[in-house]
Structure 1
Amino acid sequence: MEITPFRIEVPQAEVDDLRSRLARTRWPEEDLPDVGWSYGIPLTYLRPLAEYWADGFDWRAQEARINSYPQFTTEIGGQRIHFLHVRSKNPDALPLLLIHGWPGSFVEFLNVIEPLSEDFHLVIPSIPGFGFSGPVRRTGWNVLRVAWAFAKLMEGLGYDRYGAQGGDWGSGIAQEIGRVFPEHVVGVHVNMLLTFRPHGVNDLTADELKALETLDHYQKELSGYMHVQRTRPRTVAYGLTDSPVGQLAWIVEKFHDWTDCADVPEDAVDRDQMLTNVSVYWFTGTAGSSAQLYKEQSASWGQQQPTTVPTGVAVFPHDVGTPVRSLADKMIPTIVHWSEFDRGGHFAAMEEPDLLVQDIRKFFGSL
């Protein structure tokens, strides 16, 4: 496997084009009165954020921060894979895959690299179709294929035994790596696990029923993006690839709905880190190819088999759904670690990096 050093160097012309497009945005009508975020992202929030993205946000500073970490690209299965590879000063440290989801990216993990690299050799890839892994050029890149590619990546780096961690799509991919390659995976740690309301089960407690209501709310009110992306990812790509404000709204809404924020996303995550994540989607033009993962996975939705390696689960209360332990144990009999926190949401590495780092250390330290 040939590995090539990589640096992010977005041409100035593309930065200038972004600012020009933002300045020429054609805005919709004013917000409806007294609806808040219930009809979607409010104009009174999005317009000032777009103005900051154009005139206050320093992409070059964020680019330099990312480039301070070793980055590489390789090709696996005909697909370019971009990844960070941060080796621990401890030569005997456990290798650890950190896997992002949608609408995240490797940028999610920037705040946990320093503390985790004290104990782990970190490999942080961009999912094929996302960010600097570039658009996918063919169909078939579902969760299983991504898991295979990341296992091949670890093999190519010389890591025979390693851990895997992730949230959102990263949770499913990490579990699949553990299922398909158990001889290489020490354990799997996830910070998102969905447990669904079972048919014909009537012995759940009041607290368990309340937890399931969070997922019911997500499915009824917050999952419209998912149905679009798993049915017509190419169609939605045109607007998001042409309009930076469209891309901004499509992503930032999730940082409001899925985080532990009181009012605006910046209550939960750093504004510049959030905009860095959006900028990666914009500069790489991967709105459509990242959405394509939903289409590829739709044929096997809900059919993934459980991982067979030791599994740890970190539950953050403002995620898209609160898992029920009794149901989770039936789904994944190898759960050996379960933590429930009183704050944080879907983007745990950005919202509560200290809690996530602590839980990852605790889980893998117990194995």
Structure 2
Amino acid sequence: MSRPTSDVQAFEAHATDADLDDLRARLAAARLPEAETVYRPGPNPRRWDQGVPLADLVDVVNYWRTEYNWRSFEERLDEIGQFRTTIDGLGIHFLHRRSARADATPLIMTHGWPGSIAEFVDVIDELADPKDADTPAFHVVVPSLPGFGYSDKPATTGWGCEKIAAVWVELMGKLGYDKFLAHGGDWGGVVTTVLAGRFPEHVLGIHTTFAESPPGLSTDGLTADERQWTEETHDFWHRRAAYARQQATGPQTIGYSLVDSPVGLLAWILDKFAEWSDTEDSPFETISKDRVLDDVTPYWLTRTGASAARIYYESHASLDPELRVDVPSAITTYPRDIEKYPRPWAQERYRQIVRWRTPEHGGHFPSLEVPEYFVKDLQEGLTAVLAASR
């Protein structure tokens, strides 16, 4: 392992009191629409048929304004360890938790949208220093995607997943990690796939919760369950993906609302936590209000609603259909995730699947919804990957 370079600087996230006061004032002065016209008593997922129900939003807005403690999350980030460095002229923010174990393997974990580094704060400690000495340990690196959180906002086009993957290789090199493992879901899964496909000399192997197959594959030979997956994925993209098309075609337009209105930002993101989580009525069945607000608040404080949305403009439907992954891959597909690809399809891209899991519970945000399972699955998946890479 080479030595880290010196142009990595420690960083602290610290919102001013004025910014927090302004947030609370805007929340108190919010203009809200009338209630939805599909009201049903909960618990009932159909309550969300027109989007976030008014009563649910009012409850979270009041909690955000009167009870939520942003300073506590700032302290947690500082406890893990925050840093910034500049790559290709852009400041990149990341968490970095080195393991105390001499046999630890570097691991980069990439979030997606509407996620953030908040997705991983509850699992980093166990990954870096597991309680079981026989479990593999990792030097964990969690970057904020360009345009997200405390990473800089690109001022030009071109910052899609291909470029981000190349930047991650340079980032890991700056930390002294020439060879490493990678994990990701959502956009992080795309970046992880590109990392493995384009930079196999650096990537020992991957674990992903999003294994997108090449397009145009036949359903012939699939099981009934696998066909159901393809139908659900088709339904998602044809009936429930208006947000993605908006952000892919007009990120600047939606960005005005996301940067100007904390309530608009909250509703835009909360809708996805509700729809994409493995719950019967509300995302708060499995994810705390604090963790959802830990995810939403950085978008507000850093004014990154528009810049984060641009990853759709840069990368929507852009994964190279010819890209193949030959490094060992562990794939976990959660039952309530929004895109699910059958193993026969995934194998067309991921040529060395060493572990395949389909758990009984969990949705798009497994590290927040089922954190204990997520950590165990990631540890076991990367154990299989490491064994195959030797």
TM-score for the superposition, normalised by structure 2? 0.91
Q: CA deviation at 1:303?
A: 3.3
Q: Structure 1 residue 240 and structure 2 residue 251: aligned?
A: no
Residue aligning to 1:26: 31
Residue aligning to 1:361: 379
Provide the C-alpha distance between the structure 1 equivalents of 2:199 and 2:319, rounded to a whole number of angstroms: 21
Paired residue secondary structure (2:237): helix
Residue aligning to 2:222: 204
Matches within 5 A, 1:240-279: 240-279=258-297
Matches within 5 A, 1:1-367: 2-34=7-39, 36-118=47-129, 119-195=137-213, 198=216, 201-298=219-316, 300-301=318-319, 303=321, 305-366=323-384, 367=387
Provide the C-alpha distance between the structure 2 equivalents of 1:138 and 1:51, rounded to a whole number of angstroms: 38
Alignment-mate amino acid for residue 48 of structure 1: D
CA contact (8 A) 1:101 1:168 kept: yes
Paired residue secondary structure (1:230): helix
Provide the C-alpha distance between the structure 2 equivalents of 1:201 and 1:214, rounded to a whole number of angstroms: 13
Provide the C-alpha distance between the structure 2 equivalents of 1:201 and 1:221, rounded to a whole number of angstroms: 21
Q: Percent identity?
A: 38
Paired residue secondary structure (1:111): coil
Change (3 A) 1:323 1:201: closer
TM-score for the superposition, normalised by structure 1? 0.96
CA contact (8 A) 2:213 2:348 kept: no
Q: CA deviation at 1:330?
A: 1.7
Provide the C-alpha distance between the structure 1 equivalents of 2:293 and 2:80, rounded to a whole number of angstroms: 19
Q: CA deviation at 1:357?
A: 1.3
Q: CA deviation at 1:198?
A: 4.2
Alignment-mate amino acid for residue 114 of structure 2: P
Alignment-mate amino acid for residue 254 of structure 2: V
Provide the C-alpha distance between the structure 2 equivalents of 1:298 and 1:316, rounded to a whole number of angstroms: 22
CA contact (8 A) 1:134 1:286 kept: no
For these two proteins, the number of residue pairs brought into alignment is 367
Paired residue secondary structure (1:84): strand
Deviations 1:29-77, CA, capped at 9 Å, x for gaps: 2221345111111111111111111111111112112221111000000
Paired residue secondary structure (1:330): coil
Alignment-mate amino acid for residue 235 of structure 1: T
Alignment-mate amino acid for residue 17 of structure 2: Q
Across the aligned residues of Structure 1 and Structure 2, the Cα RMSD in angstroms comes to 1.6
Q: Which moved more, 1:303-312 or 1:172-181?
A: 303-312
Provide the C-alpha distance between the structure 2 equivalents of 1:236 and 1:335, rounded to a whole number of angstroms: 39
Q: Which moved more, 1:350-359 or 1:187-196?
A: 187-196
Change (3 A) 1:196 1:264: farther
Q: CA deviation at 1:95?
A: 0.4
Deviations 1:165-202, CA, capped at 9 Å, x for gaps: 00001111011111121111110110122458846543
CA contact (8 A) 1:31 1:44 kept: no
Change (3 A) 1:21 1:164: same
CA contact (8 A) 1:222 1:257 kept: no
Provide the C-alpha distance between the structure 2 equivalents of 1:302 and 1:257, rounded to a whole number of angstroms: 28
Q: Which runs of 5+ in 1 are unaligned?
A: none
Alignment-mate amino acid for residue 234 of structure 1: Q
Q: CA deviation at 1:203?
A: 2.9
Provide the C-alpha distance between the structure 1 equivalents of 2:13 and 2:220, rounded to a whole number of angstroms: 53
Paired residue secondary structure (2:178): coil
Q: CA deviation at 1:220?
A: 2.4
